[in-house]
Amino acid sequence: MEIFKKIKNSKFFKIVSNLYILISVVFFIWIFFIDSNSILVNIKLNKEISELKERKDILENQIQIDKKIISNLQNPDSLEKYAREKLYMKKENEEIFIIEFEK
């Protein structure tokens, strides 16, 4: 019995048993961890947004490169060069030998 009296009279018990403190703790736990718009979900979504922005920048750079290639292919000579080098196309009476070097 004496232990309970000591516990009941302690400062810690008085603070913890305070209704406002209990409600505040439950509220913060709810906000940080349980709610659908919790801090953890926001952190995860912000990380995903930054990854998507990086991917967007990479793809925009690739679009610029492709636009340059398309503009270069408007010239028939560069079109033939591209077809021969990248697509390994040939004329009817030609033979193509592909030589690959080991690095």
Per-residue model confidence as pLDDT tens digits over 56-97: 999 999 999 999 988 988 988 888 888 888 887 888 888 877
The pLDDT confidence band at residue 44, using thresholds 50, 70 and 90, is: very high
- Examine residue 18 and state whether it is found in any structural domain, yes or no: no
At 5 the pLDDT is: 65
The pLDDT confidence band at residue 50, using thresholds 50, 70 and 90, is: very high
The residue segments making up the domain with residue 72 are 52-89
Which residue in 67, 74, 47, 48 sits closest to 59, CA to CA?
67
What is the CB neighbour count within 10 angstroms for residue 29?
12
**To 5 degrees, how large is the angle CA 52–CA 53–CA 56?**
85
Domain count, the chain: 1
CA 78 – CA 70 distance, rounded (Å): 10
- Examine residue 97 and state whether it is found in any structural domain, yes or no: no
Q: Return phi, psi of residue 95, to 5°.
A: -120, 140
